[in-house]
Amino acid sequence: MEKIHIKLGQNLQRIRKSRGLSLDRTAELTGVSKAMLGQIERGESNPTVTTLWKIAKGLRLSFSSLIEEEVPNVSIISSADILPVTEDEGRYQVYPLFPFNQETQFEIYTIFMLPGCKHHSEAHTAGVQEYITVTEGTLTLTVQGADYTVHEGNAIRFAADMPHTYTNESESPVRLHVVIYYPA
């Protein structure tokens, strides 16, 4: 097994980059200086347990995840680290969890809609499919003039290469997960 400080540095850098965090932002989140984080990532420092706890707490992960062997092809996304794209004065918020990837041909979002929010989406390119799971509230989806009501815990799939509209007609927020598939 590699020396612990080398594995720690590799894990910290992998976790930070997988979340799209700069060293500056990581320093803000953890309370550990940018210089110290850089030394840890390069394997030049063997940090104290207190420093490791600060990093783990700031990045919202377990202490052991900093020193364990990497599990290949695993990405953990923390919603706290995602900046939403907002419209309608913040009433419509899109959180990009996994941006488009050429290998997988899809992207995944969480969308949060306040009561009364309505969002119109233009047609995507030919063959694009959307898969939506409502995790909170009730969504009204309009496709080709037809309304579809999707309740919490239910899902819908549709051809998204035509205009469509998401509406929250209720008095409660709506949260949904959206997978957009782009054919090759």
Q: Give the global pTM.
A: 0.61
pLDDT tens digits along 108-150: 999 999 999 999 998 988 999 999 999 999 999 999 999 999 9
Angle at 159 between CA 158 and CA 165, to 5 degrees: 70
Could you give the count of Cα atoms lying within 13 Å of 75 in the half-sphere of its Cβ? Answer: 10
Question: Could you read off the pLDDT of 40-93 as tens digits, one per residue?
Answer: 999 898 888 889 889 988 998 877 778 777 556 778 888 888 888 888 888 999
**Residue 184 vs residues 82, 102, 104, 106: alpha-carbon distances, Å:** 27, 9, 9, 10
Residue recorded with tokens 């969480």: 110
User: ∠ at Cα 90 (86, 95), nearest 5°?
Assistant: 40
Whether the pLDDT of residue 173 is over 50: the answer is: yes
pLDDT of 152: 98
- List the domains of the chain with CATH numbers: 4-69 (1.10.260.40), 86-181 (2.60.120.10)
At residue 27 the predicted structure's pLDDT band, cuts being 50, 70 and 90, is very high
**pLDDT at residue 146, as a whole number:** 97
Among 103-107, 110-114, 171-175, 176-180, where is mean pLDDT lowest?
103-107
In the structure, what pLDDT confidence band is assigned to residue 30 with cuts at 50, 70 and 90? very high
Where b means 16+ CB within 10 Å and e means fewer, 144-162 reads eeeeeebeeeeebebebee
pLDDT of 160 reads: 95
**β-sheet with 129-136: strand ranges across:** 85-87, 92-101, 106-113, 174-181, 129-136, 155-159
Question: Would you state the pLDDT for residue 2?
Answer: 53
- How many angstroms separate the CA atoms of 8 and 40, rounded? 7
- Amino acid 48: pLDDT: 84
